[in-house]
Amino acid sequence: MKISPFKLERYFDKYEFSAPYLLSSSDCEPLRLNELLALADEKSRSEWDVLKLGYTESMGDPVFRNEISKLYTSISPEDVLVLVPEEGIFISMNVFLEKGDHVVTTFPGYQSLYQIAEDMGCPISKWEPDQDLNFQVQDLKKLVTDKTKLIVINFPHNPTGSLISKNDLNEIVNIAQEKGITLFSDEMYRFMEYDEKDRLPSVCDLYENAVSLFGLSKTFGLPGLRMGWLTTRNKNYMQDLISFKDYTTICNNAPGEKLGTIALQNKDTLIQRSLKIIQTNLLLLEDFSQRHKQWFLWKTPKAGSIAFPELKIKGTVMDFCQDLVKEKGVMLLPHDVYDFSRNHVRVGFGRQSLPKVLSVFEEYVKEKSPAK
């Protein structure tokens, strides 16, 4: 299979480590090693000091998998496969799909959630949000056919920060169940709901033929560990996923698993840390958008560390973003990297630098004439 360029990752590659002011990152402020280790209890701390840097168990360290299973209601450590989050998407698409299989997926979205399938030769139907960036389940229903093999969903959603209701999620599970469709649910931004009542159950707890993806990159502020996991109660699925992993990474990095265990042993502290940063930054962004209404059509997300406001400009969003990064060093992601046709930019607000970045962005906005 020839794989298409990942537009968002290529764009990040150009600016992430050269632009001084990042306004599009999706992760929450990454922790330093000493901050994470300071949370470790005595046992974990001494295990870290003498950690053997050998090969590890293919499914993941049992202690780590045990901590992961506590995030779910019906998942045991044997139902967890530890891997890199992006690897989890790659493996799943390869395991669940063959050329010609029909796929329905949330769109716009993180490109690998549909691109791998498309490049494998699978017809894709895109479940798009309405004008207000809300996903309507009746629109999804119209896309599902008797040939649909896989439904891919991602809530909290990248890039809109949208959520659906629990009833709508149950309806999707019912559709998948009735038609014997596998459900792949990317839950990378879970636990970052601003109102806990909006938190959706994990799909792997609702439906046996479902696989959920989660990891430490976003909510827990640890993207550099490259730690994620797939969870499913379907034993056949799990066997196929494990077998495919022998051709990607075989097993995980030992330091990442140990540090990941420490992170999940302190999950509430880390989640609260991220939510605090997000909620403070969100107020600043709302205020900023209000002050510059002639530029932005702002919609407050329901969860996560990213939003997808509409830009009201004369030229193209790509030109705007490139001029902004050239003149002020502020990096924003244009809608083009999502193959989305409406004029939007992705704003990331999980980082502590946001107030400073926003003040540099404001200089730019004040200097330029806005609006169409």
User: d(Cα 72, Cα 262) in Å, to the nearest integer?
Assistant: 18
Q: How far is the CB of 86 from ligand PLP (least distance, A)?
A: 3
State which residue, 94 or 158, has the beta carbon closest to ligand PLP: 158
State which residue, 105 or 217, has the beta carbon closest to ligand PLP: 217
The tokens for 39 are 């949370």
State which residue, 9 or 198, has the beta carbon closest to ligand PLP: 9
State which residue, 215 or 309, has the beta carbon closest to ligand PLP: 215
Query: Which CA distances in Å does 259 have to 169, 238, 245?
Result: 33, 24, 22
Q: How far is the CB of 84 from ligand PLP (least distance, A)?
A: 5
Q: How far is the CB of 358 from ligand PLP (least distance, A)?
A: 22
Nearest alpha-carbon partner for 59 in 40, 76, 81, 42: 81
Name the strand (E) or helix (H) holding 126. strand 124-127
State which residue, 11 or 288, has the beta carbon closest to ligand PLP: 11
Beta-bridged to residue 331, according to DSSP, are 22
User: d(Cα 13, Cα 115) in Å, to the nearest integer?
Assistant: 19
User: d(Cα 204, Cα 166) in Å, to the nearest integer?
Assistant: 14
User: d(Cα 95, Cα 173) in Å, to the nearest integer?
Assistant: 20
Q: How far is the CB of 219 from ligand PLP (least distance, A)?
A: 11
Q: How far is the CB of 70 from ligand PLP (least distance, A)?
A: 21
Q: How far is the CB of 110 from ligand PLP (least distance, A)?
A: 4
Q: How far is the CB of 364 from ligand PLP (least distance, A)?
A: 25
Beta-bridged to residue 231, according to DSSP, are 80, 212
For 180: left if phi > 0, alpha if psi spans -120 to 50, otherwise beta; the answer is left
Q: Are 192 and 305 in contact (CB under 8 A)?
A: yes
Q: Are 23 and 325 in contact (CB under 8 A)?
A: no
State which residue, 223 or 260, has the beta carbon closest to ligand PLP: 223
State which residue, 129 or 313, has the beta carbon closest to ligand PLP: 129
Binding site for ligand PLP (CB under 6 A): 26, 84-86, 110, 154, 158, 186, 188, 215, 217, 223
